[in-house]
């Protein structure tokens, strides 16, 4: 996969330059992931929902919980689930104890799609970060987590 070559971002403040570098990097990495997921007719947000459901309770999760666990917040999880349901990758079920609660569960077809994507997604991530040594990856993760902290 070709990467765009660009000059380092220039900004008056180092914080602004860092922010812009993060945006440029995120755009490149997300674009590569979206291309891969598109080969299976999935958006990154749909893929995220399927992964949340695969790792969640076997009985399913309400849309509100799915929304809370999403990496990128989306305004309408229900419509996202609608599209996955139309593709037969998830199903909805009401619980007997409280008919107002609707749980979303991943189907076998949804699990199959994820199983087909597991190795290619892992390979993509390895390629995306091939220039970084394991210690550098750990340090980058630590620094990104630290950047999200507020003092």
Which positions ≥6 away from 80 have C-beta within 8 Å?
Answer: 45, 46, 49, 74
What pLDDT is attached to residue 72?
87
16: left (phi over 0), alpha (psi -120 to 50) or beta: alpha
Report how far residue 42's alpha carbon sits from residue 47's, in angstroms, rounded to the nearest whole number.
Answer: 6
Secondary-structure class of domain 14-129 per CATH: mainly alpha
Decide if 53 contacts 59 (C-beta within 8 A). Answer: no
Model pLDDT for residues 40-82, shown as the tens digit of each residue: 999 999 999 999 999 988 889 999 999 999 998 888 899 999 9
pTM: 0.86
Structure tokens at 107: 């189907």
Segment among 19-23, 92-96, 115-119, 132-136 with least mean pLDDT: 92-96
Listed by start position, the domains of the chain span: 14-129
């Amino acid at each position: 996969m070709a990467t765009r070559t660009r000059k380092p971002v220039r900004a008056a403040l180092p914080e602004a330059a860092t922010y812009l570098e993060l945006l440029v990097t995120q755009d490149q990495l997300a674009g590569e992931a979206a291309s891969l997921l598109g080969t299976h007719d999935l958006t990154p947000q749909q893929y995220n929902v399927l992964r949340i459901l695969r790792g969640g309770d076997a009985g399913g999760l309400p849309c509100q919980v799915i929304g809370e666990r999403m990496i990128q917040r989306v305004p309408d999880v229900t419509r996202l689930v609608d599209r996955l349901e139309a593709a037969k990758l998830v199903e909805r079920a009401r619980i007997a104890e409280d008919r107002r609660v609707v749980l979303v569960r991943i189907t076998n077809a949804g699990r199959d799609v994820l199983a087909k994507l597991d190795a290619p997604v892992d390979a993509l991530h390895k390629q995306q970060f091939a220039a970084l040594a394991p210690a550098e990856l750990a340090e980058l993760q630590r620094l990104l987590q630290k950047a999200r902290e507020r003092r």
